Amino acid sequence: MATAQEKATPNNLSNNPTASNSSAVPSSWAHPTADPFRNRPSVSALVSAVDSFPDPPPKTTSTTKGIPVMMRVQTCHPLDPLSAAEISVAVATVRAAGATPEVRDSMRFVEVVLVEPAKQVVALADAYFFPPFQPSLLPRTKGGPVIPSKLPPRRARLVVYNKRSNETSVWIVELREVHAATRGGHHRGKVISSKVVPNVQPPMDAVEYAECEAVVKDFPAFREAMKRRGIEDMDLVMVDAWCVGYHRETDAPSRRLAKPLIFCRTESDCPMENGYARPVEGINILVDMQHMEILEFEDRKLIPLPPADPLRNYTSGETRGGVDRSDVKPLQIIQPEGPSFRVNGHFIQWQKWNFRIGFTPREGLVIYSVAYIDGSRGRRPVAHRLSFVEMVVPYGDPNDPHYRKNAFDAGEDGLGKNAHSLKKGCDCLGYIKYFDAHFTNFNGGVETIENCVCLHEEDHGILWKHQDWRTGLAEVRRSRRLTVSFICTVANYEYGFFWHFYQDGKIEAEVKLTGILSLGALQPGETRKYGTTIAPGLYAPVHQHFFVARMDMAVDCKPGEAFNQVVEVDVIVEEPGKNNVHNNAFYAEERLLKSELEAMRDCNPLSARHWIVRNTRTVNRTGQLTGYKLVPGSNCLPLAGSEAKFLRRAAFLKHNLWVTPYVPEEMHPGGEFPNQNPRVGEGLATWVQQNRSLEEADIVLWYVFGVTHIPRLEDWPVMPVERIGFLLMPHGFFNCSPAVDVPPSASDLDDKDNGMSAKPIQNGVIAKL
């Protein structure tokens, strides 16, 4: 991901020819593999480790609160996403490390992502290397710490698929090292480690999808089967190469497999035609994605193609025989004085919030180092890392091919790699700051999604209001929120992922679901109870969408502190008796979740159940522990039997809430490689079996939320946006409402017209900072 400033200014990190010998890089700079608290290095140890690296003389000397600070200009924060140059260096380094030309030529690059450093390294960077300097992040030491002159080298983690051997390997590359062993010695990267991961298949890539479509279309038996259905023009055919999942032993990852779904457009000269309106059923295809060969083909049943529905398309009204609405007047959003937020690289400041923006090919948007500036109490951390780490879409039709449609859209495809460019300005309105995203393609080249992440402010109605009925005087505050978002397309569906920050201390996570339904074909006169008939010969199967938000919390915790716990709160109706003589009494009952197995919990709207992450060492003015609470929105659990095949890969769907102590390697709830994964319960469901203590820990919340979609006729041809999500709300965190400080907004209404007409508004501006 790159900002506009970075595009204009060369990246000093990747262009600086200076070499430094860092072969003795301490493992503490990267995430430890053991208990992160038992072996956590001290700040003094980190300082000593950094100073052990030779470096040119420091460029500047400054003093912060009497502490001598020796710093040089820093170009990349430790949490900044990898730049295009860094990705190129990482790829070239790994490719050059191949033992033979055949091995190098067979390398396919699935993912290149930043190795996120230990939390203490991030704290050191934020304290003394990147503005706004925050020395309070580090614990005080007698005499004050000696601040190092530089930060440790950045590292990249690469997932590489060998197309020749069908092996998956993981590589760690240091990016600021000139290593003579690389060809030519100019790649400026050093391989720190590499290992082959047995018995897995990495995510599929767009290059493979395109190759799979071409192979299927060129297969003689397939062309003959399509001719039986009246289709001879292969340009009309759409082949969506869905991952095979794991439903039988032959789906094991010893082969790289896909089970394509077939659709067919009706017009070759209409690029925006909705081809998903005509599913092709009755054809079974199994594709070897390693060799791009058809392993199985069977034309099982001749099901006629659904007739061309005049309402199938989603373009303007004229193209589908209708008329677009003409009575909608322009609605413009302007900010003539610019936005209220400030951006420095990937560091965002707005109102009293500050945080960093990151991006990965798998998760997409990542929010780091979330904190609230609270008057005399200063910077108060809320969370270290927020992201959506997985999503699963199981379908409820037991018929072929729909029972196989159990997509892991993050783990099998990658939400970030399927993100949109938002440069047209239709997805966000107002004064916009865009961020680009960089990632590797399958062949090792670097691709850029311009304007991938959108940052902007939104009016959000009334924040609070009160009118004194005696005096008639009223106080009103409008709510404004800061929104960070990206949108991706996975086959037929679109998903928008949003993090909203509010002036009263709330954080809202929201997913917007839209796009096109994945459909099935029907025989004439046939209906199915597992879906909704939406057009002649066409039905939409019932299905569910599940999302997993991973929240590495840090409520009032400095880096290195582990002072959080989780409390479950239920509202209890008091039993009739002397304490409830009027039968109206109820109260909130708290329960400390002491261990991982105890913290496997489900939503309960009947008791208004929610969960609070509390700091065990910090109290508010009433003596209560400070906290942030997770408030569920609408939610559901899988509507499947306990032996459902997709649940062996997605055991994390069995509960709405999981809680674990922070371990860096525990990132993916279904395991890193869910594609064709035969291992039952890998990931989150396995980790919690350790039943680690949560009474005072570095807490990670895993919140699983979903929606059950029973399609309507009105969901065709487009599915209007459906919103689901949850809230993180302060609970005893502040001594009073932060909304008190929000100033009144000036009215734009003309009093002469009794508020019925608005003052003239200038033309809207959608700008890129």
> Catalytic residue positions?
409, 493
* β 379-394/538-541 pair status: unpaired
Q: State the sign of the Cα–Cα–Cα–Cα dihedral 316, 320, 326, 331.
A: negative
> In terms of Cα–Cα distance, which of 172, 158, 152 is closest to 77?
152
**Nearest in space to 633 (alpha carbons), one of 706, 571, 572:** 706
Q: How are beta strands 474-490 and 493-502 bridged, if at all?
A: antiparallel
**Phi, psi for residue 71 in degrees, rounded to 5:** -130, 155
- How many alpha carbons lie under 13 Å from residue 113 in its C-beta half-sphere? 20
Instruction: Mention every residue, 6+ apart, whose C-beta is less than 8 A from residue 338.
Output: 431
Q: Which neighbouring-strand residues pair with 701?
A: 551, 659
Q: Helices 206-217 and 220-228 meet at what angle, rounded to 10? A: 70
What torsion, rounded to 10 degrees, do the Cα atoms 403, 726, 589, 737 define? Answer: 180
Q: List residues bridging with 381 in a β-sheet.
A: 371
- Kindly report the CA angle at 492 between 326 and 245, in degrees rounded to 5? 165
- Interstrand relation of 538-541 and 60-64 (parallel, antiparallel or unpaired): unpaired
d(CA 358, CA 44): 28
Q: Count CB atoms within 10 A of the CB of residue 319.
A: 12
Residue 409 is given by DSSP the state: I
Beta-carbon-side half-sphere exposure of residue 82 (alpha carbons within 13 Å): 32
C-alpha dihedral (447, 452, 453, 459), degrees to nearest 10? 170
In DSSP terms, 667 is beta-bridged to none
Cβ atoms of residues 656 and 703 within 8 Å: yes
Kindly state the DSSP code that residue 275 receives in the 8-state scheme.
G
Beta bridge partners of 193: 172
Confirm if 274 and 514 have CB atoms less than 8 A apart.
no
Beta strands in 491-580 (DSSP E): 493-502, 507-515, 520-521, 531-535, 538-541, 543-553, 564-573
Q: Are 563 and 569 in contact (CB under 8 A)?
A: no
Q: Are 568 and 591 in contact (CB under 8 A)?
A: yes
Q: For residues 318 and 275, is the Cβ–Cβ distance under 8 A?
A: no
Separation CA 153–CA 159 (nearest Å): 20
For the chain, give percent helix, strand, coil, nearest 5: 15, 35, 45
**Considering only CA atoms, which of 292, 297, 209, 290 is closest in space to residue 253?**
290
Whether 734 and 375 have beta carbons less than 8 Å apart is answered as no
357 contacts 367 by C-beta, under 8 angstroms: yes
Query: CB 53: neighbour CB atoms within 10 A?
Result: 18
Distance between CA atoms of residues 483 and 216, nearest Å: 42
The whole-angstrom separation of Cα 286 and Cα 208 is: 14
The kind and range of the H/E element at 706 are strand 699-709
